[in-house]
Amino acid sequence: MSDDEPDLELLALLRQHLRGKQTTSEEPETGVLEGAEYVYNNAIDCALDMRSCKNAAIAIYEQMQLKSYSPATWATHELHPKTKDEAALAFIFTMDLLNFSFWSEKSDADRFAIFYKDKRWTGYWSLVAALQRALEEGIPITDSHFWQDQEECTLDTLKRVFRSCTDEEMPLLEERLSCLREAGTVLYEKYQCSLANLIKAADGSAAALVNLLARDFDCFRDEHRYEGRRKPIRVLKRAQIFVADVWACFEGEGYGEFRDIDKITMFADYRIPQILNSLGCLGFSPLLDATVRDKKDIPSGSNWEMQLRGCSIWCVELIRREIKRQHPESKINAILMDFFLYDLIKEMEAAGQETIPHHRTRSIWY
């Protein structure tokens, strides 16, 4: 072959390479991991201990294997939906629409709680219990048509749905009503009041579904400015956890079938930073540490709060990568790790083994 003749094999290889790059670039990305890495690289009050992260990877993998953590674990809790239908989809959407801010300054005996099925439920489980109780009482709390009915779905209605067995009301009830109103309007205007249509619009992509939620619903647009970065930091806790819950409930099939489910990160709230600190993976500066221990308010969107959330996402990602490095065959992803870490800190709380309280931030984002 002369210098003037094209190398057809090389051209074919280049075309294949470019097609591959083009296909990859067209796949949706949430930007959450990118933002978390930026926060980590610029954080001064939160830091990761890499040795502890490696040790945590070993311990977390062993415990998750021992407890057989999988998507099916989600449905084993007595309050989560057991069916795999549109009613379950509606329940999950409502649950994650309102899945924020349950912490209380009061004692365990006096804090907001739901009494249901002869048990007392607090925190996230108080929400799930209240929704199940409302449905049993004939209140269509998971119906988007109901959310739009301003005569039926009122603040007084929510006070009944979330009535506590203590004197403390559920926090941010007016904000929860606003979330329901907005979601009902968006579902009506864009998706014919059908969550199945919302899922279908994502075309089998978990990342695309997260992006649709953040684009169309203000109450899912959990993104914030940080350290002069031109693009906001996307955290998208509740949008991501909706996708994760659907995936787990349907065990990766039907409505829960997503080709890119591993693009979902952990869900940055106040419990995961707490357990990561307890494991020695996530360290705080003296002033931030004192603020958390003294249970002082950390404003939503503040520099400290963004460091806590962003560094937690990046920390779990590094632990996940270490698990995959040690166990390439493992199907563990950030979703299952988040479920496991949340359960672990709740077990520690129940046993009185917490080494540090969770940080205090009152917002609709988590």
Give the whole-angstrom CA distance, residue 148 versus residue 181. 6
Q: Which region, left, alpha or beta, applies to residue 319 given φ > 0 means left and ψ of -120 to 50 means alpha?
A: alpha
How far apart are the C-alpha atoms of 3 and 132, rounded to whole Å? 75
| Catalytic annotation present for 4 | no
Cα 174 to Cα 177, 179, 223, distances in angstroms: 5, 9, 21
Report helix angle 271-278 to 303-326, nearest 10.
60
What are the φ and ψ backbone dihedral angles of 231, each rounded to 5 degrees? Answer: -85, 140
245 in helix, strand or coil?
A: helix
Q: Are residues 261 and 335 in contact, defined by beta-carbon separation less than 8 angstroms?
A: yes
φ and ψ at residue 297, rounded to 5 degrees:
-65, 135
> Which of the residues 269, 297, 338, 343 is marked catalytic?
269
The residue with tokens 């329901």 is: 180
Active site residues: 269
